[in-house]
């Protein structure tokens, strides 16, 4: 995988927004897989600026959701469908009709998961999947020891993830749902380009395990090592435990400009 160390979160946002812009120039109806959480916000901000300036045309782009809480009404402000409408679709001027996501309110959860897998396949698959990483190494909501070949399904959140996410629920961990549906690791690995953004010192251990540890279900993000086109973008703090940081800096500094990420 390629590791790009950027000075800060805003630099990561600009770099990834440029990769999305490049993709949309050659494939205007690309399927963009998006993530929630705090980390991807600089990417969405940088993309929205490009949309406003006319540099990027998102009118035919499609958006695919990575994961969703089970049991939150779709119009709850913290359902990921609501978060993505607010943080991605509206700023990028993309209509809800171009949105693909699992139904976290369905009574038949396995049926909703299977329907989402079918919808992703019918859309032609995800072109670029943006990922965050949990402090426990999760991608999507694939918690440690998720099968590396898993498909979209229900998962139970770890207490660590629920406590990490309590800040979105007024700091009250009891309000964070126990269950989620998430694209599986096998589903995520089918996207044509994976771009994982990690910022802050709190992610340094998870980044080191992802990039330099073994491929192992205990660190779900380590599955990126199996993907032919995976890019890990980190700020200095999240890269602080990478032994090969000097090599990653050297190789990116000497990369031909036309290549992109």
State yes or no: residue 183 binds ligand PGA (CB under 6 A): no
* In the complex, least distance from residue 197 CB atom to ligand PGA, rounded to whole angstroms: 8
User: Is 67 one of the annotated active-site residues of the chain?
Assistant: yes
Cite the beta strand spans of the chain per DSSP E: 2-6, 31-34, 62-65, 67-69, 99-100, 128-131, 153-156, 179-182, 193-198, 230-235
Active-site residue identified among 68, 87, 127, 138: 138
Active-site residue identified among 103, 143, 164, 235: 143
Residues with Cβ within 8 Å of residue 45, at least 6 apart in sequence:
13, 91
Number of residues that bind ligand PGA (CB under 6 A): 6
- Give dist(CA 184, CA 146) in Å, integer: 8
In the bound state with ligand PGA, the residue whose beta carbon lies nearer, of 39 and 146, is 39
Q: Is 11 left (phi over 0), alpha (psi -120 to 50) or beta?
A: alpha
Per-residue contact flags (x/-) with ligand PGA for residues 10 to 49, judged by CB under 6 A: ---------------------------xxx----------
Residues with Cβ within 8 Å of residue 247, at least 6 apart in sequence:
none
In the bound state with ligand PGA, the residue whose beta carbon lies nearer, of 98 and 133, is 133
* In the complex, least distance from residue 134 CB atom to ligand PGA, rounded to whole angstroms: 4
In this structure, what DSSP letter does residue 85 have?
A: I
* In the complex, least distance from residue 149 CB atom to ligand PGA, rounded to whole angstroms: 20
State yes or no: residue 159 binds ligand PGA (CB under 6 A): no
Query: Which of residues 33, 101, 134, 220 is near ligand PGA by CB under 6 A?
Result: 134
User: Is 227 one of the annotated active-site residues of the chain?
Assistant: no
Give the SS3 label for residue 93.
Answer: coil
User: Is 107 one of the annotated active-site residues of the chain?
Assistant: no
| Helices 41-52 and 9-26, axial angle in degrees (round to 10) | 50
State yes or no: residue 132 binds ligand PGA (CB under 6 A): yes
Give the SS3 label for residue 189.
Answer: coil
Name the segment binding ligand PGA (CB under 6 A); options: 22-30, 127-135, 181-189, 245-253.
Answer: 127-135
* In the complex, least distance from residue 176 CB atom to ligand PGA, rounded to whole angstroms: 12
Query: Which of residues 6, 21, 133, 188 is near ligand PGA by CB under 6 A?
Result: 133
Q: Any idea what the Cα angle at residue 178 is, between residues 73 and 125, rounded to 5°?
A: 70
Kindly tell me the burial class for residue 257, based on how many C-beta atoms sit within 10 Å of its own C-beta (0-12, 13-18, 19 or more): exposed
* In the complex, least distance from residue 239 CB atom to ligand PGA, rounded to whole angstroms: 16
Q: Which two tokens stand for residue 110?
A: 């396995």
- Give dist(CA 215, CA 213) in Å, integer: 7
User: Is 90 one of the annotated active-site residues of the chain?
Assistant: no
Could you list the residues that contact ligand PGA (CB under 6 A)?
Answer: 37-39, 132-134
Residues serving a catalytic function are: 67, 136, 138, 143
């Amino acid at each position: 995988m390629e590791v790009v160390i950027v000075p800060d979160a805003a630099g990561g946002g600009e770099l990834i927004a440029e990769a999305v812009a490049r993709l949309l120039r050659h494939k205007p109806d690309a399927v963009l897989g998006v993530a929630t959480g705090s980390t991807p916000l600089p990417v969405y901000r940088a993309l929205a600026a490009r949309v406003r300036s006319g540099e990027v045309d998102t009118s035919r782009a499609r958006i695919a959701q990575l994961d969703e809480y089970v049991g939150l009404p779709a119009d709850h402000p913290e359902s990921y469908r609501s978060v993505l409408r607010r943080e991605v679709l509206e700023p990028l001027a993309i209509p809800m009709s171009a949105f693909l996501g699992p139904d976290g309110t369905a009574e038949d959860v396995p049926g909703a998961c299977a329907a989402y897998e079918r919808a992703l396949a019918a859309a032609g698959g995800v072109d670029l999947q943006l990922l965050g990483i949990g402090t426990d190494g999760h991608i999507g909501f694939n918690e440690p020891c998720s099968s590396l070949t898993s498909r979209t399904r229900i998962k139970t959140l770890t207490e660590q993830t629920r406590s990490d996410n309590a800040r979105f629920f007024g700091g009250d961990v009891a309000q964070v749902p126990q269950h989620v549906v998430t694209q599986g690791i096998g589903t995520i690995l089918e996207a044509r380009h994976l771009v994982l953004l990690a910022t802050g010192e709190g992610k340094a251990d998870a980044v080191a395990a992802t990039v330099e540890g073994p491929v192992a279900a205990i660190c779900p993000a380590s599955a990126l090592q199996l993907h032919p086109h995976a890019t890990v973008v980190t700020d200095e703090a999240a890269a602080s435990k990478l032994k090969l940081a000097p090599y990653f800096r050297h190789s990116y500094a000497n990369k031909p400009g036309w290549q992109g990420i």
